[in-house]
A and B are shown apart, each in its own frame.
Chain A
């Protein structure tokens, strides 16, 4: 199997993989394939350079980042070591698995949110304990539909969630949303949104306190009422307002209209 065939296989299977390419300096056009679960393949021209780029490539992959890095021909990275030596510019392109969105509650808003999340490239899991509502037929756009209480799903797979992932809790049912919030707070998920009016949220905070969740830092992670203030009414508009809030949370922007600002458009 050639290097590109191995890359193609990984991309089709959706498993993490990175490709390092020398784009400037000695060895332009050389490649190193970085596989977190297998041996590297190819070479950038020196074993020490390969070793250092491999290490950096694994880190880039975990962060879901791609970009150009500068090394010496033998993998030097500190500025003093790069004086008086040709520089090797390496483009590390990483393909991380898609971020996940877990949606709790099989309601109308769920279908709309799942659709918009798919457009943004999320792997979507819909979870509801009620068998008649949590069906693949009602949510054909979801990658997985789970008939389950929140706690077992979090116990089994909560460890998968990281800063790029989102948990959206759309049930208004305290039986369901308290354990869902509890489960979500125990993960590293970057976004936790909980649907409900301000009154619902105030009551929920009381019930969370009864369940032992009183830590202010924990409660501050909850985006509730969920979504940006767009005046959204329909499930589809609400889905856009939730997804827009997720993007703004990631980029740290205030989500006003671009016309009303003056800085660079891209973060």
Chain B
């Protein structure tokens, strides 16, 4: 999150709504550990990353859905697990879980 601070504050100053997604859990092979983070503004500007580029596109979709009121804050899983098989996976075969929330606190 440290690397996102400048952009988060810039968005706060201009009252631009923004969502942040943080990796909370990695199972198996995953490129970035817990704490890797990215932020997406309602205008679609993106900073940071949460994987090796495999799932960032899907995170942007989820983040914009959150800011547009089409989903609640919460967990998103990418990769292959028994109960939740998302269309987007990590090429390395691991599973990552992200927490997506609006940055308004």
Task: Give the size category of A's interface with B.
Answer: 20 to 34
- Is B75 in the interface zone, CB < 8 Å from A? yes
- Is B24 in the interface zone, CB < 8 Å from A? yes
Q: Which of B26, B35, B73, B92 has a CB less than 8 Å from the CB of A28?
A: B73
Residues on B with C-beta less than 8 A from A23 are 24, 74-75, 99
- Is A233 in the interface zone, CB < 8 Å from B? no
| A91-B74 contact in complex given A31-B105, A67-B25, A266-B29, C-beta closer than 8 Å | no
**Max count, chain B CB within 10 A of own CB: residue among A3, A67, A91, A95:** A91
- Is B53 in the interface zone, CB < 8 Å from A? no
- Cβ contacts A1-14/B at 8 Å (1 or 0 each): 01110011001100
The smallest beta-carbon distance between A241 and chain B, in angstroms, is 24
Q: Which of A11, A24, A91 has a CB less than 8 Å from the CB of B5?
A: A11
Interface of A is mostly: mixed
- Is B34 in the interface zone, CB < 8 Å from A? yes
Residues on B with C-beta less than 8 A from A42 are 105
Residues on B with C-beta less than 8 A from A265 are 29, 92
Q: Flag if A4 contacts B103 (CB, 8 Å).
A: yes
- Cβ contacts B83-105/A at 8 Å (1 or 0 each): 00000000010100001010101
Q: Footprint of B on A, CB under 8 Å?
A: 2-4, 7-8, 11-12, 21, 23-24, 28-29, 31, 42, 66-68, 91, 93, 95, 264-266
In the complex, given contacts A24-B74, A28-B74, A93-B35, what are 12 additional A-B residue pairs having Cβ atoms less than 8 angstroms apart? Answer: A4-B8, A4-B103, A11-B2, A21-B22, A21-B99, A29-B73, A42-B105, A66-B33, A67-B34, A91-B24, A93-B22, A266-B26
